[in-house]
Chains A and B, each alone.
Chain A
Amino acid sequence: MSELCDLTIAQARDGLRTRRFSARELTAAHVKAMEAARGLNAFITETPERALADAARADVRIAAGDARALEGIPLAIKDLFCTEGVPTTAASHILDGFKPPYESTVTAKLWAQGAGMLGKANLDEFAMGSSNMTSYYGAVRSPWRRRGDDRPLVPGGSSGGSAAAVAARIAMAALGTDTGGSIRQPASFTGLVGMKPTYGRCSRWGIVAFASSLDQAGSLTRTVRDSAIMLRAMSGHDPKDSTSATLPVPDYEAALTGNIRGLRFGVPKEYRVEGMPAEIEKLWQTGIEWLRAAGAEPVDINLKLTKYALPTYYIIAPAEASSNLARYDGVRFGLRVEGKSIEEMYEATRAVGFGDEVKRRILVGTYVLSAGYYDAYYLKAQRVRALIAADFKRAFEKVDVILTPTAPSAAFAIGEKMDDPLAMYLNDVFTVPISLAGLPGISVPAGLSAEGLPLGLQVIGRAFDEETVLRAAESLERAANFTARPPALT
């Protein structure tokens, strides 16, 4: 592997500006890495020519002394973002052949800062999953392996291709989306930094919709600093998304002062869930000690409704999905399976086009929204959601951030946990509550399991206070000094 692929965005930025290497060299090294790692199935569509053309343009800007924030940085884009003229599949059969005639706002912002696109990363179908096993284009393999065990592992999901690409040093960073943990859980599984910003920080325009009140764009990177660089480029109000915030976008890198003295961080006892491995509990304690040693003060807090977050999510998210996915009908884009009547065409197209997990969620969503059940399920869940958000609000009167584990386990093998949808849903037990409350959360690689797999810790912050989240995350990163690499790269 070229050492260019091992650089962080911050290091590459310096190397490009001091002309130690060109954007073309940097991108060519990553294109080569992408070809060499096809066995991971991290990409649905590779766009190497596009990446090299982007790099050539970047070199011109750099030569002119006109480099922008992400000039010449090759990225992987989760295939849930619409990219003009480049197939966008959401990892679903039903979007066969779809080439968006427009560009998502967040990707447009990245290109406007000089970034290049290596390709469209694999994901769980319509971002519904925690393993990347539900993709129509096949499972993604994590570059990680358990010690002494060669069985392929999942990279987590739904942003599994994005995570695998960054962990395997194919892409310098990747765009993901997080609805209930889809950036943070794969980051934890693959030893990366995964940031879900506050709901409303980044525009959702041009992202294939799953659950609109929860979906949020974010990044997977190898460092907290790179996460800060990405967030600044992605954020900002967009008139095309009325839920995007009109707040100014801070310079997140400037927030990384390294000083968390006096910061108060909450430790919620309800996150000690039954069956959580002792090593994760231990890592959490270690994280508490790290922050304390850096001058921050731990505070016991209560988030009493934690155990109700998952069932709340599994009413709200499927309900919104059943409505959002109504548009896939074989008429305007994607797959069509003919039928004698229009009804038959709809039903046949959707039967063939959607995978099992997507169908399951559409059916659950349709059920909880149907006559006679709407109040009992959907409105009930929206009321509980209000209480969960209020729980966090109360906690943030006492603390500046909250520290928890990211996921209740390390990565599992491909095929494990597939027989029971509920067991799979439990992967998101620590990330879903934050999504319901719309808060920013970041996963930082903090240690290895006994089997040699990465484990992450999650820092949660107040709405629109990503600066404090990043600052605390950087402190954790420094203390953890996570240098482990996927075995294939060592």
Chain B
Amino acid sequence: MSIDKATVAHIAALARIRVPEADLERLAGELRKIVAWIEQLDEIDTSGVEPMASVVEMTTPQRPDEVNDGDCRDKVLANAPAASHGFFTVPKVVE
């Protein structure tokens, strides 16, 4: 399926990025070009090949499930654009 303005609007909404109506056509064109270029991978037969999620040939190390960090609420909140009473604050989400 070709990427049109509606597709861009949809993925921009999924990505939580506001894209002005005036930019949709330009972005659709850029994305169409990039996607057409990456579609050359269809030339390769990958049947029976396992997808590679990590290049590291190792098993994930295990450690005891113990608290080893934390108790630094104020440090964490220090970077928040808005915080009060020891919490992050956001616009009202419950009516």
Residues of chain A touching chain B, judged by Cβ–Cβ distance below 8 Å, are 97-99, 101, 199-200, 213, 239, 242-243, 245-246, 305, 308, 311-312, 314-315, 322, 326, 329-336, 338-348, 350-351, 354, 359-360, 362-364, 366-368, 370, 377, 379-387, 389, 421-422, 436-438, 463
Contact = CB atoms under 8 A, between A and B. Distances in A.
Q: Which of B8, B31, B43, B58 has the most CB of A within 10 A?
A: B58
Contacts of A340: 91
A239 B64 CA distance: 12
Main DSSP-derived SS at the B contact region: loop
Given A338-B91, A421-B34, 9 more contacts: A200-B58, A239-B63, A245-B58, A331-B88, A331-B90, A341-B91, A377-B38, A380-B42, A463-B57
Contact of B31 (A338, A351, A367, A382): A367
B32 to A, nearest CB: 11
Interface residues of B, number: 52
Interface string B7-44: 11001101111110000000100110111011111111
Nearest to A311: B38
A387 B49 contact: yes
Nearest to A381: B41
Contacts of B54: 213, 243
A347 B79 contact: no
Contact of B44 (A344, A377, A387): A387
Interface of B: 3, 7-8, 11-12, 14-19, 27, 30-31, 33-35, 37-44, 46, 49-58, 60-61, 63, 72, 75-76, 78-82, 88, 90-93
11 contacts: A99-B79, A245-B56, A331-B80, A333-B79, A333-B80, A336-B81, A342-B90, A377-B38, A384-B46, A422-B33, A436-B55
B6 to A, nearest CB: 13
B82 A336 contact: yes
A1 to B, nearest CB: 38
